Amino acid sequence: MPRKPAHPTPRRRNRREATARVLAPVLALALATGCGRLDSGPGGGRVATARVEGPVTAGRPPFVAGTAFDLASVGYEQSEWFLSGSARAFEPVGALGSDGRWEVAPGATADYRTRILVHRPSDPARFDGTVVVEWLNVSGGLDAAPDWISLHTELIRSGHAWVGVSAQYVGVEGGFSVLGSGSTGLKKVDPERYGSLSHPGDSFSYDIFSQAGAALLRRDGPDPMGGLRPARLVAAGESQSAFRMTTYVNAIDPVARLFDGFFVHSRGGGSAPIVQPPVGDAAMPASVRIRDDLRVPVLTFQTESDLIGLGFLPDRQPDGPMFRLWEVAGTAHADIYTLFVGFSDLGDTPDAAAVIVNAEPIPGIIRCESPVNSGPAHFVLKAAYAALDRWVRSGEAPPAGPPIAVSGSPAAIERDRFGNAKGGIRTPHLDVPIATLSGEGQTGGAFCALFGTTTPFDGATLRALHGSESAYAAAVREAAARAVAEGWILPADEPLFGAAADRVRFPG
């Protein structure tokens, strides 16, 4: 269907100050249709109906590590809702093989009470029917929304809604944080607002996530969508949540049959357990592929960091009728955009496409020993999401992405004379390089190993490669146009590459 015109996005003042105001809550991120669908499910069963309450107004505003700008400035609004009910765990039936063709049976049940956060267009006419349902990431001990941060400019200009689900125990109850900050779940962050929440454990997380998606399709009672009628639900999860998403696709989707597509972003090797102690115990394979008899489209998006550092390489698999794998050269699991720039990006800043040298991704909190990666992963991520959305709508599959080149034993990414990865999906940052961009080689504080590195070229190297600054900017524009033609960058984002290149000055 035709793309709707973007809503006006006025430039806001003091973006860096706005970002700084939310650095404390977002530090965890660094670390890391129709109602008929509700009647299909396990063995002819259904996704249970959750009780919906809200919008929630008690206490402080809704908590999530997500956005620093006012959603109203882009024609969106935020609301928060509580969900409660009885969730089901699932037990494996037979052995769990690496092929992901898993079967499960209903297991124990437990009561729960959690929350969902909704970002939707204020004007119903702007909503185009797609809802991204993100499994919020709890790697840092609290709820973070990395896919909202990376995708929000595309979601907003396309009129899509986004829903973040507190599906896991740590996000609600708190628990271990690799930052050493102790219990930081919703109930600890704001007891007045979230004190009534209760999570029975991650064995029940998959059904909680399903019930959250089903609640968006309800036609009776409190309506989290504010009268909007979803036509498509796309489930998404990044990093730790991508492990959960992998298990959901392989084991739960054949049972729940709820979502229209899945966006698996930066998973490592293996997957999350189907059931965990004390509810049950299932031995998961060390290597896990997405099942090849998929019901709906699945797109897996991987950075350099994920291949070797997170152990994804043994889990690589070929594309299939309902599966695509995109691997992007010059990118890291988390980078300058997801750690800093993205929180205040309104889709119009050249900083989003710039090579930024910053060794302190969250100033005063996390210091890495080298400048972290500033590659354009988020631009390709937006193109990947748009391709998945088109696939879900029309059946038109995304282009096949070339794999990042890997060889040797132990396996290592092949690199060119500048240290940039060979193969993979290419962007102007690598085709017209001014720095070595890697998903590897970082050291320092918590999570730094996931942030990759940026090593700028010196002036002599830049002049030898590109001749002049104007010639460099022209080459970037040509490379950006080529990436758009190949489907790796969206047309709306292309001008930002040229604008960023115009600001580059060769040192010396």
206-239: pLDDT as tens digits: 999 999 999 999 888 899 999 999 999 999 999 9
Q: 38 is written with which tokens? A: 């509700």
For residue 140, what pLDDT is reported? 82
Pick from 252, 249, 213, 235: nearest CA to 116: 213
> What pTM was estimated for this model as a whole?
0.91
Phi then psi for residue 119, to 5 deg, are: -115, 120
Confidence category of residue 495, pLDDT binned at 50, 70, 90: very high
Sheet holding 51-53, edge to edge: 51-53, 76-92, 104-121, 161-165, 130-135, 232-238, 261-265, 298-303, 323-328
Task: For residues 336-363, give the mean pLDDT.
Answer: 88
Tell me the three state secondary structure of residue 478: helix
| 87 bridge partner residues | 110
CA 46/CA 258 separation, integer angstroms: 10
Q: How far apart are the C-alpha atoms of 279 and 107, rounded to whole Å?
A: 9
| Confidence bin at 177 (pLDDT 50/70/90) | low
Lowest model confidence (mean pLDDT) among 17-26, 129-138, 170-179, 404-413: 17-26
- Nearest Cα residue to 261 out of 114, 159, 408, 129: 129
Structure confidence at residue 182 (pLDDT): 53
Structure tokens at 149: 């941060």
Q: What is the 3-state secondary structure (H, E, C) of 98-114?
A: CCCCCCEEEEEEEEEEE
Residue 5 has pLDDT above 50, yes or no: no
Q: What is the pLDDT of residues 119-131, one digit of tens each?
A: 999 999 999 999 9
> Residue 139's pLDDT is what?
87
Q: Residue 187: which H helix or E strand, with range?
A: helix 186-189
Closest among 265, 135, 290 to 205, alpha carbons compared: 135
Structural tokens at position 298 = 């699945």
Give residue 183's pLDDT.
56
C-beta of residue 432 within 8 angstroms of C-beta of residue 476:
yes
Please determine, for residue 446, whether its predicted confidence score (pLDDT) is greater than 90. Answer: no
* Pair 230, 161: CB distance under 8 Å: yes
Rounded Cα–Cα distance for residues 79 and 62 (Å): 8
Residue by residue, what is the 3-state secondary structure of 8-27?
Answer: CCCCCCCHHHHHHHCHHHHH
Q: Are 294 and 268 in contact (CB under 8 A)?
A: no
3-state SS assignment for residue 331: coil
pLDDT digits (tens, 9 = 90+) for 369-427: 999 999 899 999 999 999 999 999 999 999 999 999 999 999 999 999 999 999 999 99
CB 168 within 8 A of CB 200: no
Phi-psi region of 266 (alpha: psi -120 to 50; beta: other; left: phi over 0): left
Say what the alpha-carbon torsion angle 168, 172, 173, 175 is, to the nearest 10 degrees.
60
The reported pLDDT for the residue numbered 38 is: 53
Cα-only R_g, the chain: 22
Q: Tell me the HSE value of 21 on the side-chain side, using a 13 A CA sphere.
A: 10
